[in-house]
Structure 1
Amino acid sequence: MEFENDDIAYEFYNTYAGHVGFSVRKSWHDKSSTTNVIRTKKFVCSKAGYKDKSKEQCQRKRADTRVGCLAEMTIKISANGKYVVSSFEDAHNHELVTPSKAHLLRSQRKITEGQKAQIDILNDSGIRPKSGHEVMSRQAGGRQCLSFGQKDYKNYLRSKRMQSIQEGDTGAILQYLQDKQMENPSFFYAIQVDEDEMITNIFWADARSILDYHYFGDVVCFDTTFKTNSYGRPFAPFVGVNHHKQTVVFGAALLYDETSETFEWLFETFKRAMSGKEPKTILTDQCAAIISAIGKVFTNSIHRLCVWHMYQNAAKHLSHVFQGSKTFKKDFGKCVYD
């Protein structure tokens, strides 16, 4: 059997793996130093090898997914420039998944063009990834019938959103932040990138903001203005009040999403920018992801809900009570402030 290139060989082996019931990954390859052409390439079962536990530094221990499976397919280039199979091993030392669940394996998960179009429509309608994935799962007859998971859904939106930021824009952002730091070394900025080295989150604070936080950072109000900029990214300012009752900005961020992991990174970065000082009190809305991140990062801070958001929610859910009672507004105010 011959293959025109190594990508076709990989697709062949991955298709075979889907029928058998395992996931595959690319193990290693050997390139010619003169022509840069791949001479040999090896594809293995995703459970091949063992995890290097000496490099594991995260507090959350992950389950061992590699069990030393020897199943593999190796190809090498032939004289006519095509690739042939040089070795093949089909024995596995672990259980294989059933055909009904094979499409959920990592290398088998795919989002079709039609599904991408539907995801775009759901996202443009303001439906969050978790809810959007649930909608598509119901349409497919259940999660087990959908060819991708919730994480794949989010990754697709992330890739599309990152592509919408043109390379010139990314370079301009980095150049601007670097120029600001050159003007004043106290200017602080941090950038988080994903596994594809694409920018996901950006935080910055100038010298004045850092100094203001030193004097007036006992109480911080944090909120995200969702997708009001041209890139559709949440804008998240840290603000407070000075001794003249004027609003001061302690820092700001452009975020990819509003997940707990994103807010944890942001709060850790903010604390690092402010030399480890935590606010005594932080005011936010009722976002569960923000509340979770505060509990993990600002362990010495008191968290309180923003009064404006409380009144907004009250007006939304209790409007009939406000209209039907002359004293409810006063009573509600006492509950909030007293």
Structure 2
Amino acid sequence: MVRFYVSEEGIWTAKNSVETHNHELAKPDDQHLLRSSRHITEENATVLKSMADAGIRTVNAFSYLSEEVGGVENLGFTKRDAYNYIQKERRAKIENGDSNSLIKLFKNRAAEDNLFAWDVQTDEKDRLVNFFWVDGLGRVDYDCFGDVIIFDTSYRLNKYNLVCAPIIGVNNHWQNIILGMAFLSDETIDSFCWLFQTFLRIMDNKHPITIFTDQDQAMARAIELVFPNTRHRLCQWHIQKKAPSKVWCFNS
């Protein structure tokens, strides 16, 4: 541990240094489990993708690669890394026909509703990965009832495993109202930042006062970056759902 003092002029001065490590270092046999040591090479990624496209299960592809290098410890990544990579590839590949149909639908809706707004995000290969839309009623409702919003990512689509991410509010009759709808390919900081920034831009840069979400670190970081003055609160339902598995005495 090193502690620094930074002056108003931006000069860094080392104030304290502790050279001893506070836990045992990983044994050589366990190094492949460290996040910093895990990496899927381009060659292994190609094999994983080819085998998945051929209908071979990810667990079998992982076993094949580990046998080729003489064991899991020599592979450089874990089985979970392999599953995450395959899922990411599947999520990113929204078929062109579906992408074109979706954009055509958005354009038609925008022609019928002057307040209808939408946006999509593509990756480096120009594949559609995230998209968001809101109709005229949602924009009017947000202007009236946008003080508190609820953001929930509990559900997914079957075909592409996309995250269903509605932005919900409550009107003066205590009814749930949809303020916007998004589908995301993953739950990363970048995806959440893109969504929140798009939402703000479409909603004339009006920030909510409070946002309720579940306990997701990537989501919390994105809210901190995009909604710095918004109060972030956790959903009580999610807390009660998780409590029995985290705190044993909660069951009694």
User: Counterpart of 2:160 in structure 1: which amino acid?
Assistant: Y
> In the alignment, does 2:98 pair up with 1:169?
yes
Q: Matched residues, percent identical?
A: 34
CA distance in 1, matches of 2:39, 2:220: 33
Counterpart in the other structure of 1:207 = 136
Q: Shift of the alpha carbon at 1:257? A: 0.2
Q: Shift of the alpha carbon at 1:121? A: 4.5
Counterpart in the other structure of 1:270 = 199
Q: Shift of the alpha carbon at 1:314? A: 1.4
Distance 1:228 1:195, change over 3 A: closer
User: Counterpart of 1:182 in structure 2: which amino acid?
Assistant: A
Higher RCO by CA contacts (8 Å cutoff, separation 6 or greater)? 2
> In the alignment, does 2:250 pair up with 1:250?
no
Which ranges of structure 2 fall in alignment gaps of 5 or more residues? 1-37, 60-68
Q: Shift of the alpha carbon at 1:112? A: 5.7
| TM-score (norm: length of structure 1) | 0.53
Q: Shift of the alpha carbon at 1:171? A: 1.2
Q: Deviations over 1:126-182 (max 9, x none)?
A: xxxxxxxxxxx9x53156x46xxx6x986654443343x332211110110000001
Higher-Rg member (1/2): 1
Distance 1:321 1:224, change over 3 A: same
Q: Shift of the alpha carbon at 1:198? A: 0.7
CA distance in 2, matches of 1:277, 1:191: 21
CA distance in 1, matches of 2:243, 2:162: 27
SS for the counterpart of 1:185 is coil
CA distance in 2, matches of 1:200, 1:105: 23
Aligned partner (choices 292, 300, 319) of residue 229 of structure 2? 300
Distance 1:255 1:197, change over 3 A: same
Which ranges of structure 1 fall in alignment gaps of 5 or more residues? 1-103, 124-136, 325-338
Matched ranges for 1:141-180 at <5 A: 141=73, 145=76, 157-163=87-93, 165-180=94-109
Distance 1:223 1:121, change over 3 A: farther
Distance 1:121 1:305, change over 3 A: farther
Aligned partner (choices 40, 44, 55) of residue 111 of structure 1? 44
> In the alignment, does 2:218 pair up with 1:289?
yes
User: Counterpart of 2:170 in structure 1: which amino acid?
Assistant: V
Counterpart in the other structure of 2:118 = 189
Distance 1:154 1:321, change over 3 A: closer
| Contact 2:48 2:58 (C-alpha < 8 Å) held by counterparts | no
> In the alignment, does 2:169 pair up with 1:237?
no
Aligned partner (choices 185, 190, 193) of residue 261 of structure 1? 190
User: Counterpart of 1:180 in structure 2: which amino acid?
Assistant: R
SS for the counterpart of 1:111 is helix
SS for the counterpart of 1:316 is helix
User: Counterpart of 1:321 in structure 2: which amino acid?
Assistant: C
| Contact 2:132 2:195 (C-alpha < 8 Å) held by counterparts | yes
Matched ranges for 1:68-107 at <5 A: none
**Cα root mean square deviation, aligned:** 3.1
